[in-house]
Structure 1
């Protein structure tokens, strides 16, 4: 599994919003504080909003904040919002993606690794 740059930026953004509490943060503020390109961050925030991890507010005092308590948002939630299903190999995420999974000696290893990664990411929320 590889964490994309976009996902790295999303995690930085979510950590900023976590540190901000219930206060609304503007895109400019997050981008500057977390060293993320502003135009890229705006697109990332839309994905996080679609995943219901952040909420947005319009207007002069508008911006973004976490949609729920940070303890209820895992690293897995953030990664899946940006990258989709987490796994070390496509066959470990979707058995139908590989017609050889029944006879493949590596398949159980991929499945176990993916399960352990998912469990670890689910275990850690934005506060840990």
Structure 2
């Protein structure tokens, strides 16, 4: 399993917003400081807004801010906001995708792995991640 570039940018974005919860941040600033393409970042931010991770503000002084406390946002939240549910095989999310799901010896392994991966990602919140950050990782 490998996260997409879009998910990597989303994680960077949430990390940047975590380090600046005191103000609304413009897309230009996030894109510049986190080395992400602005147009791509705008689409990612809309997914984060839809997932209730971030909120947007319109107007001249508009921008984005976290919609929850960093301790209440996990890596799992961000990954699922961008990519949808995590599964190593489609049969885990949709047993009708494979006619062998009911008899397949590997299916229970995929299901168990999905649970373990989700559990691990859910343990890591952005408050904890931000505490371990190096100064150059947030543009500080």
Structure 2 length as normaliser, TM-score? 0.87
Q: Secondary structure at the match of 1:127?
A: helix
Partner of 2:138: none
After superposition, residues 26-105 of structure 1 pair within 5 angstroms as 26-105=26-105
Equivalences, count: 128
Q: 1:22, 1:66 within 8 Å by CA — same for their partners in 2? A: no
Deviations, residues 21-57 of structure 1 (Å, cap 9, x unaligned): 1311100000011000011001110111111110011
Structure 1 outlier segments of 4+, above 6 Å: none
CA contact (8 A) 1:93 1:114 kept: no
- Unaligned segments of structure 2, at least 5 residues: 129-140
Contact 1:92 1:110 in 2 (8 A): yes
Deviation at 1:95, TM superposition (A): 2.7
Q: Once superposed, what is the RMSD of the aligned Cα atoms? A: 1.1
Instruction: Structure 1: state its 5+ residue gaps.
Output: none
1 CA distance for matches of 2:3 and 2:114? 14
Partner secondary structure for residue 64 of structure 2: strand
